[in-house]
């Protein structure tokens, strides 16, 4: 899945990325489900090993346009993992207390400890996306945040955190279909908001903001992956495969018992 990685120094133009791409998997959709099941099983084992070794920390950042599939990705990719070692942190409109601090304050306290996987459902990147598009702060303020975010993520990396950032990329037509499905399905209407339609009108502004995010904050220590997300099953495969490959490469091992257990007999 390295083809979806944004390498440091790359200038991203999303017109060159296809949200319908499925070139890394040639099987059928039903076969993809079996493949995802296998990846889920392996991810479950690797997560247990991560928790037991108590050495590495994993931060997963999920960003997307409205209906991009952040919740679905969490539900399908992390199906079966032990909730004791996996946490999800969501970042909505900041509270007054959070606004009284620097914009990274509310984020830092949710970063993973040793042995943990933490998934950010939205993240500190809202402060160079929504804040920029809606002109909530001046350009001088949001434009200097790219470097601040890079430094923040470098700190986390140098302190032992492995960072994976996924932009779940859908197109405008796919968003229309998903919004319509929410409107037409009684069980999904609770997820529909009139505000989504207002945000939809700002699609071009958000795309430009994302292009800057992907270009300026994909680093060696915290890379971005642009995930083709029009096909939900393919999105899940890309994220799950990247997670499994990353955890494999940590070369983890179970800790040795503190005591000599060779002569222990349980009667």
Question: What are the pLDDT digits (tens) for 47-64?
Answer: 999 999 999 999 999 999
At residue 83 the predicted structure's pLDDT band, cuts being 50, 70 and 90, is confident
Answer whether 55's CB lies under 8 Å from 115's CB: yes
Span 216-231, average pLDDT: 98
Buried b (16+ CB within 10 A) or exposed e, 165-180: bbbbbbbeebbeebbe
End-to-end CA separation in angstroms for the chain: 51
Mean pLDDT (the chain, rounded):
95
Q: Phi/psi of residue 237, each to 5°?
A: -65, -45
Q: At residue 264, does pLDDT exceed 90? A: no
Lookup: tokens for 151: 């430094």
Query: What global pTM score does this model have?
Result: 0.95
Q: Could you tell me whether strands 5-6 and 224-228 are parallel, antiparallel, or unpaired per DSSP bridges?
A: antiparallel
112, HSE (Cβ side, Cα atoms, 13 Å):
29
Q: How far apart are alpha carbons 40 and 46 in whole angstroms? A: 10
Span 190-200, average pLDDT: 93
Domain ranges of the chain: 2-248
Q: At residue 16, does pLDDT exceed 80? A: yes
Q: Which fold has domain 2-248?
A: Rossmann fold (3.40.50)
Q: What is the pLDDT of residues 241-262, one digit of tens each?
A: 999 999 999 999 999 887 787 7
Those residues with Cβ within 8 angstroms of residue 139's Cβ, 6 or more apart along the chain or in another chain: 132
> What's the pLDDT score for residue 60?
98
């Amino acid at each position: 899945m390295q083809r979806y990685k944004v390498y440091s120094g790359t200038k991203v133009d999303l017109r060159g990325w296809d949200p319908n791409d499925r070139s890394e998997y040639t099987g059928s959709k039903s076969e993809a489900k079996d493949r995802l099941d296998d990846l889920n099983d392996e991810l479950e084992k690797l997560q247990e090993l991560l928790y037991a070794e108590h050495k590495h920390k994993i931060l997963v950042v999920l960003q997307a346009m409205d209906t991009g599939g952040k919740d679905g990705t969490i539900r399908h990719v992390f199906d079966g993992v032990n909730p004791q070692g996996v946490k999800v942190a969501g970042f909505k409109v900041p509270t007054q207390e959070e606004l009284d601090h620097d914009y990274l304050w509310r984020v830092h306290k949710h970063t993973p400890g040793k042995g943990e996987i933490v998934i950010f459902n939205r993240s500190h990147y809202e402060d160079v996306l929504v804040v920029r598009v809606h002109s909530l702060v001046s350009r001088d303020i949001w434009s200097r945040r790219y470097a601040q975010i890079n430094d923040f993520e470098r700190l986390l990396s140098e302190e032992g955190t492995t960072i994976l950032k996924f932009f779940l990329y859908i197109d405008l037509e796919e968003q229309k279909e998903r919004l319509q499905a929410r409107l037409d399905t009684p069980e999904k209407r609770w997820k529909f908001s009139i505000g989504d339609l207002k945000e939809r009108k700002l699609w071009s502004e958000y795309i430009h903001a994302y292009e800057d995010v992907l270009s300026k904050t994909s680093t060696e220590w915290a890379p971005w992956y642009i995930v083709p997300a029009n096909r939900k099953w393919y999105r899940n495969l890309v994220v799950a495969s990247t997670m499994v490959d990353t955890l494999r490469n940590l070369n983890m091992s179970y800790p040795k018992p503190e005591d000599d257990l060779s002569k222990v007999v349980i009667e």
